[in-house]
Amino acid sequence: MTLPEATGLLLAFVARLITGAQGHWQGSPPKAEQRIYFANHQSHFDWVLIWAALPRDLRAATRPIAARDYWTATPFKRWLTSEVFNAVYVSRQRAQDEDPLEPLAETLRHGDSLVIFPEGTRSSKGVPQPFKAGLYHLAEQFPDVTLIPTWIDNVQRVMPKGEVVPVPILCSVTFGAPVALQPGEDKAAFLERARAAVLALRRGG
């Protein structure tokens, strides 16, 4: 076992110890097919939680997205994101002629799965903000990739914005039934439908 693999297992173990990281598969079994998991975003811990909730053999082919300027700033951050999590880097400052989705499209052409947070930023209100258009463009370009709505529950209590030490509180990750882009569906309608699919996984609400 290499050091990045061992670190990954250790992180998954810590995530499970602290949050339980229970994965509930409702309407889509854990399967080795190409997928985009799109989830609500409340904390830096979200990605680790989804990753820990996935079965071990799916983790290697499921990649997160990391902001290049932040996550390559120090050798450790770069090592963590590139070696352990195999993250896809995107630039936050957009150059004129560059498609910001290009690194994601490149990954999907490669056959890997992605985890994205279509709100674009962390929200602390409990209800996800409107989704950014990226999800729609990816769905349009890659009709064969399954889109799985994902709801992460309780994680904002584990690590609120601005804190570094997580508090042990049980969280769950619920994976829902696939959402597909209908032929001729409007961008805004699709994004709203996707958001509703995520929100519908919130239990008792």
Partner 1 sequence: MGALRRLTVEQQVGLLFVTLFGLLALVTIVAVLRALRDDTDAEAAAARRAILHDLRAVWVGAVLFWIAWASGAFVATLLFALVSFIALREFITLTHTRRGDHRSLIAAFFVVLPVQYVLAGSRSFNLFSVFIPVYAFAALPILGALGNDPTRFLERTAKIQWGTMVCVYGMSHAPALLLLDFPRHEGRGAFLVLFLVLVVAAAQVAQHAAGKRLRALPAARQISRSFTWQAWGLGALAGGFVGLLLYWATPFKAGQALFMGFAASGAGTLGELVMNALKRDAGVRHWGGRPTVTGAVGLLDRVAPLCFAAPVFFHSVRWYFGV
Interface residue list for partner 1 (CB under 8 A):
18, 20, 22, 24, 153-154, 157, 160, 163, 165, 167-172, 203-204
Q: Report, in Å, the least distance between residue 20 CB and partner 1.
A: 5
What are the angstrom distances between the C-alpha of 57 and each of 51, 124, 136, 200? 11, 32, 28, 28
Task: Give the nearer residue to partner 1 in terms of CB position, either 36 or 49.
Answer: 49
Task: Give the nearer residue to partner 1 in terms of CB position, either 32 or 167.
Answer: 167
Whole-number Å distance between alpha carbons of 1 and 184 = 48
Q: Report, in Å, the least distance between residue 69 CB and partner 1.
A: 27
Is 167:15 a contact under the CB 8 Å cutoff?
no
Q: Report, in Å, the least distance between residue 18 CB and partner 1.
A: 8
Q: Is 169 exposed, middle or buried (0-12, 13-18, 19+ CB in 10 A)?
A: middle
Task: Give the nearer residue to partner 1 in terms of CB position, either 81 or 172.
Answer: 172
69 phi/psi in degrees, rounded to 5? -65, -40
Q: Report, in Å, the least distance between residue 174 CB and partner 1.
A: 9
